[in-house]
Amino acid sequence: MTSFKRGLIAQTVLGAAALALAGFAAPALADTPKDALVMAWQFDDIVSLDPGEIFELSGAEYSAQVYDRLIHFDVNDVSKIEGEAAESWTVSPDGKTFTFKIRDGIAFHSGNPMTAEDVAWSFSRAVKMNKGPAFILTQFGLTPENVDQMVRATDPKTLVFTTDKVYAPTFVLYCLTADVASIVDSKLVKGKEKDGDFGAGWLKTNSAGSGPFILKQWKASELLTFDANPKYWRGAPKLKRVLIRHIPEPATQRLLLEKGDVDVARNLKPEQFEPLKSSDAIRLVQAPKGTLWYLSLNQKNATLAKPEVREAFKYLVDYDGMAGTIMNGIGAVHQAFLPKGFLGAVNDNPYKYDPAKAKELLAKAGYPDGFTVSMDVRNTNPTQDMAQAIQASAAKAGVKIEIIPGDGKQVLTKYRARNHELMIQQWGADYQDPNSNADTFASNPDNSDNAKSKPLAWRNAWDIPELTKKTAAAIEERDGAKRAQMYEELQRSVLADSPFVIMFQQTEMVAERKSVSGLVWGPSFDTNYYWKAEKK
């Protein structure tokens, strides 16, 4: 991009930011309001604001600001599960019934009091709508026909959650920390229903939570704003508003941050970190995430379905080269499907860039001169840079990759329809139990196009009945050591034979102005919290 065009983009963004901030009665440009947090971020992957549908990283972060859940985990020690809307809970001796007591004094943004009936209806709604994240609840035997019996309020303050069989208790509890378990205002949402849609049409662009912030406005790939909830049960946020601008270009994010037009920049490139380290006005915050970057090969493509081709691609990625450049400071090489810190995680990385080895494997598959294939990528960084690096490294073995960029929603829609060939994506665990990733990378109960369950293995048409059985068995094992061993074996099977080239575990590097404090950057995007932020 020429410097002239870059300047025009910067002026356009600055002007847009100024207009947006005008509604906050802001002082002069380059001085954000004292009572507002202004953030530059890439959030073009948001498809819906409905917690019963949210299944993207940015959407997960949105829901954490607006909704409460029954329970959560300590962001500094994920082994500690704590109450949120539930002040306490018990597990029956047979391990199948979980009883939660709802704390007093929680009100939704509408003013309606939260009750156990709201929780039961929220879970029932998610199961009956059966959107992408519904499997997190339905894996416990919940169906549209039985959910109202298996999840029920026995009185306004008591919720009983029953599973179809015995599971590891922590597995059940971690699942209830997921976005899909967010509690919606049933009275409000029921009033917005149309044609039996459970209010989904309305909740796609509106909110009905009890969290620290109230949605003010969402413009896809443009703007996301919140107002503080002054009656939040854990204490009102110190800042009255949050404004988030979708700024896709890292250079523009840095310019806005240095000028003081934003308080936080989320998507800077590694080469931009070093100059900021000496800044008196800006701090860099590292937040290790349980989020993985991976390349996937659609097995509907006859070429990519050959075992030798799958293996060859694991030698066509220059992991160390990208780790020292594109991913420097924002990701570490990690090749197993469980991130570091998860029970049973495999942390050795057996694959290295070896185009000669890849070429041998391609010759065995019948492609001594390589082949041509397309790769879909989100047109944001570092995805674009990663795609270009893989394009160059694969070319050394004769594999010609055509890069097809698109915005987050376009790329995800294509992926979820299994219409890609190669795809670079991120995957963040839905909850802190190892099954969150095993169930998507190592399980595919039905490989047909109209399957009810559509994990990542399904998206890439990888038909794995034996691994699916082993994944199902692991969630029933109550002995922690045995369970860890089961997940290690699953990871090694996926490493050896899968259509997934898992490359990096993300470290989120956030640049904040030093006038801001109190932001929480947790191990997952739905444990990034704004409500304790303040400014001086």
Residue 4, classed as helix, strand or coil, is helix
Both tokens of residue 408?
């987050």
- For residue 158, the cross-strand partners are 101, 155
Query: Would you identify the CATH topology of the domain 68-189?
Result: Dipeptide-binding Protein; domain 1 (3.90.76)
Q: Which residues contact 23 (CB under 8 A, 6 or more apart)?
A: none
How far apart, in Å, are the Cα atoms of 135 and each of 180, 455, 491?
9, 9, 21
3-state SS, one letter per residue, for 377-388: EECCCCHHHHHH
Over 50: is that where the pLDDT of 13 sits? no
**Helix intervals (H) in 164-232:** 169-175, 186-190, 200-203
| pLDDT surpassing 60 at residue 19 | no
Q: Find where tokens 């378990």 sit.
A: 181
Q: Is the peptide bond before 382 cis (omega within 30 degrees of 0)?
A: yes
Q: Please check the confidence at residue 23 and state whether its pLDDT lies above 50.
A: no
DSSP H helices, 365-420, are 383-395, 408-416
Query: Three-class SS of residue 216?
Result: strand
Per-residue pLDDT tens for 211-222? 999 999 999 999
Indicate if the pLDDT at residue 98 is higher than 70. Answer: yes
Q: Confidence class of residue 367 from pLDDT cuts 50, 70 and 90?
A: very high
Q: Say whether pLDDT at 323 is over 50.
A: yes
Query: Which residues are CB-neighbours of 197 under 8 A, at least 6 positions away?
Result: none
Q: For the residues 261-286, what does the mean pLDDT come to? A: 94
Judged against a pLDDT cut of 70, whether residue 4 lies above it is answered with no
pLDDT at 455 over 50: yes
Smallest Cα–Cα separation from 411: which of 61, 42, 12? Answer: 42
Q: What is the pLDDT of residue 87?
A: 98
Domain 30-66+211-281+514-535: state its class.
alpha beta
pLDDT tens-digit series, residues 471-514 = 999 999 988 899 999 999 999 999 999 999 999 999 999 999 99
For residue 520, list its beta bridge partners.
529
Tell me if 85 sits within 8 A of 91, measured CB to CB.
no
Read off the pLDDT band of 452 (50, 70, 90).
confident
Name residue, tokens 């026995």: 154
With 90 as the cut, is the pLDDT of residue 205 above it?
A: yes
| Partners of 19 in beta bridges | none
- For residues 369 and 341, the answer to whether their CB atoms sit within 8 Å is no
CA distance 52 to 182: 8
Averaged confidence pLDDT in the chain: 93
pLDDT grade for 27, boundaries at 50, 70 and 90: very low
- Residues 374-429: pLDDT tens digits? 999 999 889 999 999 999 999 999 999 999 999 988 999 999 999 999 999 999 99
CB half-sphere exposure, 521, CA atoms < 13 A: 17
pLDDT score recorded for residue 18: 43
Where in 399-465 does DSSP place strands (E)?
Answer: 400-406, 422-428
DSSP bridge pairs for 37: 242
Say what the pLDDT of residue 499 is.
98
- 175 pLDDT exceeds 60? yes
- CATH architecture of structural domain 289-508: Roll (3.10)
Q: What's the first-to-final CA gap in the chain, in angstroms?
A: 37
- Range with the poorest average pLDDT among 14-28, 51-65, 238-252, 375-389: 14-28
Among 378, 528, 534, which Cα is nearest to 59's?
528
Partner residues linked to 217 by β-bridges: 225
In whole angstroms, what is the distance from residue 203 CA to residue 138 CA? 21
Residue 9 in this model has a pLDDT that exceeds 50: no
Q: Where are the domains of the chain?
A: 30-66+211-281+514-535, 68-189, 289-508
In this prediction, residue 30 carries a pLDDT of 54
Provide the CA 471 distance to its chain's centre, in angstroms.
Answer: 21
**Residues 21-50: what's their mean pLDDT?**
77
Closest CA to 432 of 508, 347, 526: 526
- pLDDT higher than threshold 80 for residue 26: no
DSSP letter, residue 329: T
